[in-house]
């Protein structure tokens, strides 16, 4: 990449576009309480709709990775098309919201097009920031974390914002993000030329290249814990809070992950991405193991534990993506990141379904320490990259 300075507007545009595009992820979750009251849906409906979107994302990432969409076509163009398509799917969900099966189909389609937003946004960042990528991805994924947490804030504000306004507003926001990124960012100087063929050999580096395999397996361990922890936070908080107080507390706990992402990205530029990822993975694993003591602790310790867990459970994610982007074949960075996301989200669905099912019969204090299996395996996988960074220090 050229040594010319990167224009100041690049990172703010990327962060806003990523936040705007991924806001589609949470549109229906934010309005589910209103829909359940108005339409008489069961409480389990939110889990089914969330799973439909997750399965759509997995299907989309598999298709995008196997066809090398982000590496064969302009990433800016892919991001724009998928942002507009995802926005249209959210409008479709609003239009047919009283038909539960149609809503499931729209949410699956939304998840499919998110495959051209989240991982493609990371590829665009990797093109612009060959140096300082950990910091750039830290801010990008911090935006995603705040978007994830915003569903709880929107629930707390639900009385003031009718659900049609929320759904249509999110659709408009996503479309604006895609248009803004496409219109204001050109191709990065020195970006690798787009490929014209499928990159099967490059995708195989997920298993055959030691460095790529190390970061990818570490990411899989992280994904075993991350989304299940997010699903369990309201259940943990329900042991002490209810209603609006619970929603605001969940927002702050999950939103604290933005500190881990952005702060970890800043530290990684001085300390190294593997060490930052390993440290946060170890801390979040320790929070899993501390559940039996922390869940019954005094309020100050209880909330400090949850906030620390919220910071560290998300904070390692951008550094795993940074390591994978740096070590993957340059011509296939988008496809490798997309395939990694696909498998990681598949792992997260297994973990969520397992722990939600077990939570019906097992106390949280006895159940949640088992989430530490993911961080433990992730740290084991990360050893080659940790050793490499220590040797360079």
pLDDT tens sequence across 303-339: 999 999 999 999 998 899 888 888 887 767 777 877 8
Question: Would you place residue 365 in the very low, low, confident or very high pLDDT band (cuts 50, 70, 90)?
Answer: very high
What integer pLDDT is reported at residue 4 of this predicted model?
63
Average pLDDT for 269-297: 94
**Contact predicate 22/149, CB 8 Å:** no
What integer pLDDT is reported at residue 155 of this predicted model?
62
Residues 6 or more apart from 164 whose CB is under 8 A from it?
94
What integer pLDDT is reported at residue 256 of this predicted model?
92
Q: What is the pTM of this model?
A: 0.80
Q: Report how far residue 308's alpha carbon sits from residue 295's, in angstroms, rounded to the nearest whole number.
A: 14
Q: Report how far residue 196's alpha carbon sits from residue 72's, in angstroms, rounded to the nearest whole number.
A: 6
Q: How far is CA 363 from CA 159, 254, 295, in A?
A: 33, 22, 11
Q: Report how far residue 269's alpha carbon sits from residue 312's, in angstroms, rounded to the nearest whole number.
A: 18
The highest-level CATH class for domain 10-185+199-392 is mainly alpha
**Contact predicate 140/121, CB 8 Å:** yes
Range scoring the smallest mean pLDDT among 38-47, 95-104, 127-136, 270-279? 38-47
What integer pLDDT is reported at residue 1 of this predicted model?
39
Question: Would you place residue 156 in the very low, low, confident or very high pLDDT band (cuts 50, 70, 90)?
Answer: low
Average pLDDT for 146-159: 67
What integer pLDDT is reported at residue 118 of this predicted model?
82
pLDDT tens for residues 221-255? 999 999 899 888 988 998 998 877 887 888 899 88
Q: How far is CA 33 from CA 30, 154, 155, 162, 174, in A?
A: 8, 11, 8, 11, 23
Q: Report how far residue 355's alpha carbon sits from residue 202's, in angstroms, rounded to the nearest whole number.
A: 35
Question: Chain-wide mean pLDDT for the chain?
Answer: 84
**Contact predicate 328/192, CB 8 Å:** no
- 324: enclosing H helix or E strand: helix 317-327
Statement: residue 197 has pLDDT above 70: no
């Amino acid at each position: 990449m050229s040594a010319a300075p990167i224009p100041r507007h690049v990172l703010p545009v990327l962060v806003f576009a990523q936040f705007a595009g991924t806001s589609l992820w949470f549109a229906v979750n934010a309005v589910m309480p209103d829909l359940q009251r108005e339409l008489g849906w069961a409480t389990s409906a939110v889990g089914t709709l969330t799973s439909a979107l997750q399965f759509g994302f997995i299907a989309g990432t598999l298709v995008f990775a196997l066809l090398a969409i982000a590496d064969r076509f302009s990433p800016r163009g892919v991001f724009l098309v998928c942002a507009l398509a995802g926005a249209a799917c959210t409008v479709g969900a609003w239009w047919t919201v009283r038909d539960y099966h149609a809503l499931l189909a729209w949410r699956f389609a939304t998840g499919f097009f998110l495959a051209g937003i989240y991982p493609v946004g990371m590829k665009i960042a990797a093109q612009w920031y060959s140096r300082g990528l950990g910091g750039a991805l830290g801010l990008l994924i911090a935006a995603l974390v705040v978007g994830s947490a915003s569903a709880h804030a929107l629930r707390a504000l639900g009385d003031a914002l009718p659900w049609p306004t929320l759904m249509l507003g999110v659709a408009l926001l996503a479309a604006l993000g895609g248009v803004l990124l496409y219109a204001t960012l050109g191709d990065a100087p020195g970006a690798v030329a787009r490929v014209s063929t499928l990159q099967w050999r490059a995708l195989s580096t997920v298993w055959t290249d030691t460095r790529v395999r190390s970061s990818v397996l570490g990411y899989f361990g992280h994904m075993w814990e991350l989304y299940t922890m997010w699903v369990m936070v309201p259940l943990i908080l329900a042991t002490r809070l209810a209603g609006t107080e619970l929603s605001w507390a969940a927002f702050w706990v999950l939103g604290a992950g933005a500190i881990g992402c952005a702060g970890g990205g800043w530290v990684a530029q001085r300390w190294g991405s593997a060490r930052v990822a390993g440290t946060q993975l170890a801390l979040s694993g320790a929070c899993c193991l501390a559940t039996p003591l922390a869940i019954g602790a005094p309020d100050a310790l209880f909330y400090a534990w949850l906030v620390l867990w919220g910071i560290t459970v998300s904070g390692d994610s951008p550094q795993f993506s940074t390591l994978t982007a740096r070590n993957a074949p340059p011509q296939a960075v988008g496809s490798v990141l997309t395939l990694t996301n696909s498998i990681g989200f598949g792992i997260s669905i297994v973990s969520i379904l397992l722990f939600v099912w077990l939570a019906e019969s097992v106390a949280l204090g006895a159940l949640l320490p088992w989430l530490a299996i993911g961080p433990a395996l992730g740290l084991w996988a990360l050893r080659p990259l940790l050793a490499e960074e220590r040797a360079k220090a």
